Amino acid sequence: MSKLEFYCRPLVAFDPNNKAHRRWYYQFLEERTWGHCPVRFICPDDTGLDLTIMIRNQLIEFYVRKEFESSKKPVAQKTKKTVDKRSKR
């Protein structure tokens, strides 16, 4: 192992659930460089996608799921009908 590896930023798989990861991606969009990011993002799967495209796709899925899962209507529970014995008299 070379000495340079001790000074490298750690390799991390992008996680859209991690607020810091989303912030670093936003910073990349603003500055157009990963230079200020404290980690190096990697593509964990071999899909052949560019890193920025992979991150964008994960964020789209994250925000779409977040929007539409919260808008699901609650399922009404069936209640058992109770017979009032007094009303039968």
**Tens digit of pLDDT per residue, the chain (89 long)?**
777 777 889 999 999 999 999 999 999 999 999 999 999 999 887 677 799 999 999 999 999 999 998 776 666 566 665 666 665 55
> Which residue is it, tokens 């539409």?
68
| Cβ–Cβ under 8 Å, residues 69 and 63 | no
Which amino acid, one-letter code, is at 9?
R
H-helix segments, the chain: 19-31, 51-69
| Cβ–Cβ under 8 Å, residues 39 and 13 | no
